[in-house]
Amino acid sequence: GAAAGAVAVAGAGGAWAGRATAPATGAASSGTAGALALHGDLRVPFHGPRQAGVETPPQAYLTLVALNLAPGTDRDALVRLMRIWTDDVVRLTEGRPGLTDTEPELAEVPARLTVTVGYGPAVFTAAGLDDRRPAWLGPLPAFAVDRLEDRWNDGDLVLQVCADDEVTVSHAVRMLLREARDFASVRWLQKGFRRSVGSEPAGRTMRNLMGQIDGTRNLDPVADAPLVWSDGTDGWLAGGTSMVVRRIRMELDTWDEVDRSTREAVMGRRLADGAPLTGEKEHDEPDLEAVGPHGLTVIGPAAHVRRARTSDPAERFLRRAYSYDDAPDVATDPGALSSSGLVFVTFQADVDRQFVPVQRRLDEVDLLNEWTTPIGSAVFAVPPGCAEGEFLGQALLG
Ligand code: HEM
């Protein structure tokens, strides 16, 4: 409607699909000339063949919570939990409180809230459905660059909660966790952020905390849908996908010592505009063959963008990363200034076919490895979406 059109939706440009809508009642229909539509009123539809929060233009805030199943949570219990969560998420994304909401006023601002549910391997075991577990669902192979800390690894269930308002995220997360109390408990929780809505023109590619434009060459969730969504080779997973979560620390103290031209050489792209070192504009194709005055390739053999690329078009995935910036760990690292990095979230139809080969290549050679350290790793199966009256995960558990 007109109200939705009047609001610039951060990240809605570029390749990202989907469009948030404002409610039918509101500034647009009240006839108030010139009334400013509130961004907080924008809603992302929940019902549909695919879960929201994957092709949704990334909202400003992320909370990702992994849970451990409580002993005794069987298939029936999982169905009960999924029914409760589905009902909560339908309500919250529409700006209505959940059935047991103790702070109903906090539900009034959906701000493009999406909740995406994923399953770890234990869900299949608990439900007695190990035969329906996708072959790629389990810990990633070990990589030499990994310094994984168990407190950021794995999980039986995951909730990816995103919105353009952090109060909205916080309220939704607490409600969903409270409802799950009899079934599961928190294993880890990771928060992330991007630029606030309104700080930049909509559709800009995000900058990470190393200052790089990050996300330029990504999948187009519409044109590349077969790479993002499962086609049903895995049966019940048709319309679902997989979520890989890598928590990657940035070594910003040593990165500080690197001059600007070296920083650009590490990536193969310019800091100012994200253009490849062989091009003019952000979205120009890098020329990996181009040679400079000294006979060396302009984009070096170990530059991140060269190593992350592939001639195999199937080795691609949707990156939907957020920055994190925790309190520095001054207890063990006196004088530390920060503890920052990326909550690196990717979606792909098949983890082994698409994600693993790229991560393996980067593990072998990538200049960026000097300043980045994976400290957490998890893989989840993201069930398809659901129609009105259905519950999330029905295709598997129902
Ligand atoms: C490209 C940063 C980790 C896969 C890029 C770009 C930046 C960047 C700035 C160039 C702009 C763009 O096309 O998005 C980082 C940082 C990382 C990180 C700061 C860690 C903290 C990873 C990891 C993977 C990955 C772990 C995969 C396992 C890719 C891919 C591209 C890319 C596939 C696009 C390459 C192309 O086709 O041109 N990254 N990255 N990155 N990165 Fe990373």
CA-wise closest residue to 155 among 204, 102, 118? 118
Condensed to tens digits (0 to 9), the pLDDT of residues 74-128 reads 999 999 999 999 999 999 999 999 999 999 999 999 999 999 999 999 999 999 9
Q: Report the pLDDT value the prediction gives residue 182, as an integer from 0 to 100.
A: 97
Q: Which DSSP category does 383 fall into?
A: -
Tell me which of 153-157, 229-233, 379-383 is least confident. 229-233
pLDDT of 9 over the 80 cut = no
For residue 104, what are the CA distances in angstroms to 92, 167, 274, 351?
Answer: 10, 13, 43, 39
265, 270, 303, 311, 369 from 297: Cα distances, Å: 11, 15, 10, 18, 20
Q: Quick check: pTM over 0.90?
A: yes
Q: 363 falls in which pLDDT band (50, 70, 90)?
A: very high
- The residue annotated as part of the active site, out of 88, 101, 154, 214, is 214
Give the residue among 318, 315, 337 at the shortest CA–CA distance from 326. 337
Q: Which amino acid is at 302?
A: A
Active site residue 366: no
Pocket, ligand 1, Cβ cutoff 6 A? 208, 210, 212-217, 246, 248, 250, 267, 269, 304-305, 308-309, 341-342, 344, 358-359, 362, 372
Cα separation, 284 vs 181, in Å, equals 50
Find, among 151, 186, 160, the residue nearest to 70 by Cα: 186
For 232-280, the pLDDT digits (tens) are 876 899 999 999 999 999 999 999 999 999 999 999 999 999 999 999 9
Residues 363 and 377: their CA atoms lie apart, in Å, by 14
ipTM surpassing 0.85, yes or no?
yes
C-alpha–C-alpha distance, residues 159 and 387, integer Å:
19
108 CA distance to ligand 1 middle (Å)? 36
Query: Which atom number of ligand 1 is nearest to the Cα of residue 317?
Result: 33
Q: Six-digit token pair at 79?
A: 């169905």
Separation of alpha carbons 42 and 203, rounded Å: 17
User: Span 189-199, mean pLDDT?
Assistant: 97
pLDDT score for 26: 44
8 Å CB contact between 17 and 347 = no
Protein residue with least CA distance to atom 14, ligand 1: 215
Q: Which tokens is 109 given?
A: 């601002």
Is pLDDT above 60 for 13?
no
Averaged pLDDT of the chain: 93
CA–CA dist 376, 301 (Å, integer) = 27
Q: Give burial (CB, 10 Å; 0-12/13-18/19+) of 152.
A: buried
Which residues, other chains included, contact 257 with Cβ-Cβ below 8 Å and sequence gap of 6+? Answer: none
Backbone angles phi, psi at 250, to 5 degrees: -100, 130
Question: Which atom of ligand 1 is closest in space to residue 341's alpha carbon?
Answer: 21
Nearest CA to ligand 1 atom 28: 359
CA distance 150 to 159: 19
Residue-by-residue DSSP string for 276-308: BTT-SSTTSPP-TT-B-TTSSBSS-TT-HHHHH
Residue 1 has pLDDT above 70, yes or no: no
Q: Ligand 1: which of 209, 217, 246 to mutate, judged by most atoms within 8 Å of the beta carbon?
A: 217
The owner of tokens 């209505």 is: 96
Confidence class for position 34, pLDDT limits 50, 70, 90: low
